[in-house]
Structure 1
């Protein structure tokens, strides 16, 4: 007769990968905002790389880069934010720290992007602030 030992149940394939037991609440909110923000940032980057004539050209701006360079920066940053949001939905614990760091970088990039698309950049800065707040809020104990 076989005896069964009692051990904690872990979902298949999650042992040792740094995943949270459950994803919910503010983490899901932050994950969806990060996915949305990543897609919107990638779209802005693609449009700046493909056809930078749709953006306002500013002169004598302190953070003056070529719009194509800004496009590549936004494209890569948007991809990283998108992937971190997906990892957050999957329950990766490391994605909380990476999400805060990427949201901070995204805020800085969008602040420097303000002269080219003011309303768009301010909206993404607000989303980044919400992501940081949601990821830094305490986990629920229920």
Structure 2
């Protein structure tokens, strides 16, 4: 017997081992975003290392570093973020906790870097905030 639009089907609560599709999709998306954030970090790093005039020069800033120093920070962080993002996509158990920690570090680094390149920093902060949320909301270990 088919259910009509006015009669709802049987309600089903997920079992303990079931993965909520929204949460699993969020974790997958978080893995992809970590990869994207890693690639952006590598691009930011290479840009800062290659040329000192790519980013704004900030005066009287508490966290002022040389632009090439920022480049190296972003390059190393980008490579590590990309590796952790790949680990999340592969379902590695270590990658989720590491992803939360590294996304938090990346968020802080991009907040401090905000005066140098505001648009890129805000995009990276938004990506990192979503990644932290997505990785902290689902408790199951298997994504794929």
The two structures share one fold, judged by TM-score above 0.5: yes
Give the ranges of 4+ consecutive aligned residues of structure 1 lying more than 6 Å apart after TM superposition: none
Distance between the aligned counterparts of 1:101 and 1:79, measured in 2?
A: 15
In structure 1, what is the equivalent of residue 48 of structure 2? 48
In structure 2, what is the equivalent of residue 83 of structure 1? 83
Following superposition, the deviation at residue 57 of structure 1 comes to 0.2
Distance between the aligned counterparts of 2:106 and 2:67, measured in 1?
A: 17
Distance between the aligned counterparts of 1:92 and 1:123, measured in 2?
A: 26
Distance between the aligned counterparts of 2:99 and 2:126, measured in 1?
A: 15
In structure 1, what is the equivalent of residue 108 of structure 2? 108
Following superposition, the deviation at residue 103 of structure 1 comes to 0.2
What is the Cα-based RMSD across aligned positions, in Å? 1.8
| Secondary structure of residue in 1 paired with 2:60 | coil
Please give the TM-score of this superposition, normalised by the length of structure 1: 0.80
Q: Extract unaligned runs of 5+ from structure 2.
A: 1-18
Following superposition, the deviation at residue 139 of structure 1 comes to 3.9
Distance between the aligned counterparts of 1:108 and 1:52, measured in 2?
A: 22
| Secondary structure of residue in 2 paired with 1:52 | coil
Following superposition, the deviation at residue 93 of structure 1 comes to 0.9
Please give the TM-score of this superposition, normalised by the length of structure 2: 0.79
| Secondary structure of residue in 2 paired with 1:25 | helix
Distance between the aligned counterparts of 2:69 and 2:55, measured in 1?
A: 13
Distance between the aligned counterparts of 2:129 and 2:76, measured in 1?
A: 20
Q: Extract unaligned runs of 5+ from structure 1.
A: 1-21
